[in-house]
Structure 1
Amino acid sequence: MYGYYPYNPYRPAATAEQARVTFLSSPLAPDLKGIMQFYQRPYGVEIFVQVEGLPPFKRVKNGPQVGPHGFHIHEKGVCELGDGKEPFSSAGGHWNPHQQPHGNHPGDFPVLFSNQGRARMIFFTDRFTVDEIIGRAVIIHQGPDDYRTQPSGNAGKRIACGIIEKT
């Protein structure tokens, strides 16, 4: 059949292993909402992120910077707000199954740059499979990840959390 391509890397295959995250917000970003989707491919995992309600960029003289926003896979699939002072600490630390230094964790993602509180990104990784991350949490942080401070990149408070669920 002319023009038919059985594999299109830009369109998720119906039989691909898939997972989804729906983010819960914290008092630090009460209007934040968004999703992530994970698609298993032969060469790795394609990841789609769409978020809105991110706090605007703010450089603070004697405090943590707000934005761009670091985000990572965390150890536990628990997104309890707690008392709101340290939101989503129930998700534990960064997922680091091979005990690598920060910046080389499988769940380290690029930072989210926002335009008027909105961010969209598509990227891929071969550092994990969809099956390996089911049941873990993804955390969006208040500030950027420096990819070197141990153990978690000094990205600041947790402003959103979502559990990775198989779809």
Structure 2
Amino acid sequence: MAVHIINFNQSPNACAQINGSMTYPEIRGIVRFYQTRSGVLVAVEVTGLPCDDGPCGANVFGFHIHEGAVCAGNATDPFADTGGHYNPRNCLHPDHAGDLPPLFGNQGFAFMTVFTNRFFVDEIVGKTVVIHRHRDDFTTQPSGDSGPKIACGQIYKNITSCCR
């Protein structure tokens, strides 16, 4: 199997600009998606995440691709229109195509890269990425009991819409 090197100086194939809900307006970030022959490299950088106090503060956040196309909702769930996790093969959680590793907050900042072959970039364009307030337990159906949605971004193929 050949190794496919990603050049981070190249433009991503798609991206999403993350914005926090009205309760978490300080959350900002970007998610970049790089298509390779073997899968997709996802690179996430987020600031303004809430910080739990104490030496054992959780500071771990669920992170998923959702099936909905817009970061909108209602008073109870500001991102209700994102729907459920992206799951085109009807798998159980955590085997949805949109299930990604959690974000580990470090004084409000998180950076994560992951390589996945669960989807192609073209499949997720127009969908959303969501950050949840709590960590994903990777067990509870259908979404890992990761709590309320605190930030969201729409995935764009036109990278000038959100990132360079």
- Cα pair 1:135 1:163 within 8 Å, conserved: yes
Could you tell me the TM-score, scaled by structure 1's length?
0.85
Q: Which residue of 2 aligns with 1:55?
A: 50
Displacement, 1:54? 0.3
Q: Which residue of 2 aligns with 1:37?
A: 32
Which runs of 5 or more residues in structure 2 are unaligned?
Answer: 160-164
Could you tell me the TM-score, scaled by structure 2's length?
0.86
Displacement, 1:67? 3.2
For residue 80 of structure 1, the aligned residue among 72, 75, 88 is 72
Percent of aligned pairs with the same amino acid: 44
Task: State the alpha-carbon separation in 1 of the partners of residues 64 and 18 from structure 2.
Answer: 13
Task: State the alpha-carbon separation in 2 of the partners of residues 8 and 150 from structure 1.
Answer: 34
Which runs of 5 or more residues in structure 1 are unaligned?
Answer: 1-6, 60-64
RMSD value, Cα:
2.1
- Cα pair 2:65 2:127 within 8 Å, conserved: yes
Number of aligned positions between the proteins:
154
Task: State the alpha-carbon separation in 2 of the partners of residues 51 and 45 from structure 1.
Answer: 19
- Matching residue's letter, 1:128: F
Task: State the alpha-carbon separation in 1 of the partners of residues 27 and 12 from structure 2.
Answer: 27
- Matching residue's letter, 1:35: I
Displacement, 1:81? 4.4
Moved over 6 A (4+): none
Structure possessing the higher radius of gyration over alpha carbons? 1
Q: Which residue of 2 aligns with 1:140?
A: 131
Q: Secondary structure at the match of 1:50?
A: strand
